[in-house]
Structure 1
Amino acid sequence: MDEKDGGKFHRGQPNEVGLIDKMKEEIELRKQMNVAELNDLDEITRLEIEGFRTGTYLRLEIHGVPFEMVEYFDPCHPVLVGGISLGEENVGYMQARLKRHRWHKKVLKTRDPIIVSIGWRRFQTTPVYSIEDRNGRYRMLKYTPEHMHCLATFWGPLAPPQTGVVAVQNLSNKQASFRITATAVVLEFNHEAKIKKKIKLVGYPCKIFKKTALIKDMFTSDLEVAQCEGKEVRTVSGIRGQVKKAAKEEIGNQPKRKGGQPREGIARCTFEDRILMSDIVFMRGWADVEIPCFYNPLTTALQPRDKTWQGMKTVAELRREHNFSIPVNKDSLYKPIERRPRKFNPLVIPKSLQAALPFESKPKDIPNRKRPLLENRRAVVMEPHERKVHALVQHLQLIRNEKMKKRKLKEEQKKKEIEAERAKDEQLTRKRQREERRERYWEQDKLKKKIRRHSEA
């Protein structure tokens, strides 16, 4: 059954092999005939018909070359000549899937310049790192994540998708540490991908009307208030609200701008409950991140080989050179939160409402007593029988506590003895296993020697 199936499955194989050999012979015969016809022609005519043959030396003439390339040309460093497609001549935004190299010691920071090598090009750019959320939003990352891919968006000459990218921090040849900073692959030319970052706007109430309040210091102009109409706001105490519109009239003693105009940026908000002047109002939102259009090609061929190319420096390098300290924002420091307990005023019920309440719910006017009541001042005197019962209960409780203490000591002692026996058994087991391994290795070594002796004989 197997032979029939095998013969049926491979029935057309001999014919196919013969057909392929026949086609190869025809191609070779036609090729020999073409070569024989071309050999009879002169060199110029053959070049026009056949073109340049493989292995022919060519001379390239390049116009508009800077004089520095000729002046600092080093024949020990050959120049590679390549070609690019029409789509790679344009400049635009590229999105790449990037991962920091595991041997690189530091994390990468957004907008820090790096040197990338993509295809035939090497240039310096300032990428913005982001990650895609579940809802499709690209959220900006200040630093590259650990052991995880992220998206890098940067400006530069376009490269086709699935092109490999290698990134380094600088071109110093005397660098002792690992040089490759990150590796990536180009995903697409994403001109419409808008990267956003989280913002938190904080304001303070300047005037309160029941459940409506005027919030200051949250916006700088009425235009910003108009852009955020309908957005949700919240107080630190948890009261939710909504931005309605900008406050047009002048508010109380608010400072005026030059020309007598009222101060701008004051928003009218409504809340689900009355807020206090001591409340802090904040609004969470998303702001667009602008990707810098920075592209600096490497000009290492236009300078001496012993000179290191220097491009844009990182903020850390500039601070190190000029001996600047890292600015510290006091609002960004972690500190213990100390909130004073709030003291609320007593509940005041209007007299008109008190008249409509039943007697049980009406507030009673109880005068304050200077001396406590007799019930509070009276001492408890036990009877002789009660004293005996109380003493007996105390004795029983003392006996119970002593028994529990002795039981705990006995359990701890027993636990220590069990642990000592277990450690002793483990030591004996380890010793026995070591002896067994020694005997097994001795037998294996003896067998190997015996086999080697037989092979030599």
Structure 2
Amino acid sequence: MRMMTRTTKARIKAKPMKVVFLRSRILQLKEEAELQRQRNIAELEDLDEATRLDIEGYRTGTYLRLEIHNVPYEMVEHFDPFHPILVGGIGLTEENVGYMQTRFKRHRWHKKVLKNKDPIIVSIGWRRYQTLPVYAIEDVNGRHRMLKYTPEHMHCLAMFWGPLAPPNTGVVAVQNLSNSQASFRITATAVVLEFNHAAKIVKKIKLVGEPCKIYKKTALIKKMFTSDLEVARFEGASIRTVSGIRGQVKKAGKIELGNKPKKKGGQPEEGIARCTFEDKILMSDIVFLRAWTQVDVPCFYNPLTTALQPRSETWRGVRTVAELRRNYNLPVPDNKDSHYKPIERPLKKFNPIVVPKSLQSALPFRSKPKETKSKKDGRAVVPEPHERNVHKLVQHLQLIRHNKLKQQKIKKQEQKKKHDAEKAKEELVTKKRQREERRDRYRTQDKLQKKMRRD
């Protein structure tokens, strides 16, 4: 313990000594730098200005004059000295234009969600421009799935076209530059992940068709594709019917228009696919194909030209579809096929299963078809007077028995009510008596415990 105490004290004493040594070393370096600067000034004082600039370079505080050529006349005409111009440089990679992928998140104070391919104004590095982003999210299997709207409280991927910026560059997005906007102006924030990215953004597609000709397990499907080229693109794709029969697209099939024989110069119908299925399908079956299709990112970016117009005016770029409809009083298009309609399915009546007699003998008893009772013929039976009297007497007896049972039931219910009321009274008296007994027992036990404590 004494040795540990001594070492600890030695460390505590050595620590301030180390700090003092570092401070003295820093002061020594500063003095050496100042002496070297004084020597440089003394050596360069005798040289002329041009030679001194070549050797020493421009000194701090020196004013420069920049000459910029090919400047639009609007910039000179609308120049405002209260808004200075910043001069900077960009790297060689930032002079190119391409696709950029960013980690994008809508600002929590912005009220509305952002729609896919709606124009936004982004500020990246020295540049500000308007672009049309495509939002996506990465699935577990690495697929980039397109999103129609930005998620509420999480990041997503945004890909857009514009001047390239290095990775980890911050991005700020707004929807317009109006100063009279009442709500929060910053729409979203992002950071650049990659540029010239080759990731494909896909979305779900569902193609629906119907059979036009059926063979054993092969069928020709129409209204699913528009051309033979599109059929060739989906060769090998999995399809299925509503009833659950699976199949596969094989190749483009040919069928004459109107099921007529093919004439000279007659053109076969386009977009018919030859498909194979697990089982024979019906003409009433609906065949559909689920697949993924690639979404193209628009190659569009519009640089902001705020310096080429008066400060009182607001820069206007590409407008959204909602803004165009609002400005031109255009109604929202109403597609009748998109409305929900009541589904009316007629009840199908299937023919009874007919099992041949040669097969019935080999079946077990449970699976054998049972004989059904023959239907009654529609002839009416007229009773005789004696039969009518007997039937009337039986009806009277049944009515008397029914009334008697009804009265007995009412009487039993009344007796049960009286019994329940008496039972409730007895339970109340029993609870009161048990409560008093418990109270006396607890008092006796308390007295005994007190007496034992005194003893």
Shorter-chain TM-score: which interval?
0.7 to 0.9
Deviation (angstroms), 1:183: 1.5
Structure 1 gap ranges (5+): 373-377, 411-457
For 2:240, the equivalent position in structure 1 comes to 234
1:319 counterpart = 2:325: yes
Paired residue type of 1:33 = R
1:197 counterpart = 2:165: no
Deviation (angstroms), 1:318: 1.2
Q: 1:48 aligns with which of 40, 54, 58?
A: 54
Deviation (angstroms), 1:254: 7.8
Deviation (angstroms), 1:260: 1.0
For 2:93, the equivalent position in structure 1 comes to 87
Paired residue type of 1:241 = G
Paired residue type of 1:35 = I
Q: 2:180 aligns with which of 174, 185, 192?
A: 174
For 1:285, the equivalent position in structure 2 comes to 291
Q: Secondary structure at the match of 1:185?
A: strand
Deviation (angstroms), 1:360: 7.3
For 1:29, the equivalent position in structure 2 comes to 35
5 Å matches for 1:40-439? 40-250=46-256, 253=259, 259-335=265-341, 337-350=343-356, 353-354=359-360, 357=363, 363=369, 366=372, 368-370=374-376, 394=409, 398=413
**Structure 1 stretch 306-315 or stretch 387-396: which is displaced more?**
387-396
For 1:7, the equivalent position in structure 2 comes to 10
Paired residue type of 2:194 = E
Distance 1:197 1:360, change over 3 A: closer
Deviation (angstroms), 1:364: 5.8
Q: Secondary structure at the match of 1:156?
A: strand
Distance 1:53 1:215, change over 3 A: same
CA separation in 2, counterparts of 1:145 and 1:346? 55
Alignment check: 8 A CA contact 1:206 1:214 kept: yes
CA separation in 2, counterparts of 1:245 and 1:163? 49
Q: Secondary structure at the match of 1:342?
A: coil
Deviation (angstroms), 1:116: 1.0
Deviation (angstroms), 1:315: 0.7
Q: Deviations over 1:286-319 (max 9, x none)?
A: 0000111101111111122222221111111111
Alignment check: 8 A CA contact 1:205 1:215 kept: yes
CA separation in 1, counterparts of 2:411 and 2:329? 76
Deviation (angstroms), 1:23: 3.1
CA separation in 2, counterparts of 1:147 and 1:257? 63
Q: Aligned Cα RMSD in Å? A: 3.7
Alignment check: 8 A CA contact 1:255 1:263 kept: no
Alignment check: 8 A CA contact 1:257 1:263 kept: no
Paired residue type of 1:24 = K
Deviation (angstroms), 1:35: 2.2
**Structure 1 stretch 219-228 or stretch 125-134: which is displaced more?**
219-228
Distance 1:405 1:27, change over 3 A: farther
Instruction: Determine which structure has more spread, i.e. the larger CA radius of gyration.
Output: 2
Paired residue type of 2:315 = W
CA separation in 1, counterparts of 2:223 and 2:9? 85
Paired residue type of 2:53 = L
Alignment check: 8 A CA contact 1:255 1:262 kept: no
Paired residue type of 1:349 = V
CA separation in 1, counterparts of 2:245 and 2:416? 53
For 2:432, the equivalent position in structure 1 comes to none
**Structure 1 stretch 263-272 or stretch 117-126: which is displaced more?**
263-272
CA separation in 1, counterparts of 2:365 and 2:32? 118
Distance 1:140 1:356, change over 3 A: same
Deviation (angstroms), 1:89: 0.7
Q: Deviations over 1:82-131 (max 9, x none)?
A: 11111111111111111112222222111111111111111111111111
Alignment check: 8 A CA contact 2:255 2:269 kept: no
Deviation (angstroms), 1:78: 1.7
Q: Deviations over 1:358-394 (max 9, x none)?
A: 787554665623169xxxxx999999xx999988995
**Aligned residues: percent identity?**
69
Deviation (angstroms), 1:281: 1.2
Distance 1:322 1:387, change over 3 A: closer
Deviation (angstroms), 1:270: 2.3
Paired residue type of 1:54 = T
CA separation in 2, counterparts of 1:224 and 1:135? 27
Paired residue type of 2:45 = N
Paired residue type of 1:106 = K
Deviation (angstroms), 1:171: 1.7
CA separation in 1, counterparts of 2:337 and 2:295? 22
Paired residue type of 2:7 = K
The TM-score, its normalising length taken from structure 1, stands at 0.77
**Structure 1 stretch 246-255 or stretch 316-325: which is displaced more?**
246-255
Q: Deviations over 1:239-261 (max 9, x none)?
A: 22222222134486289999412
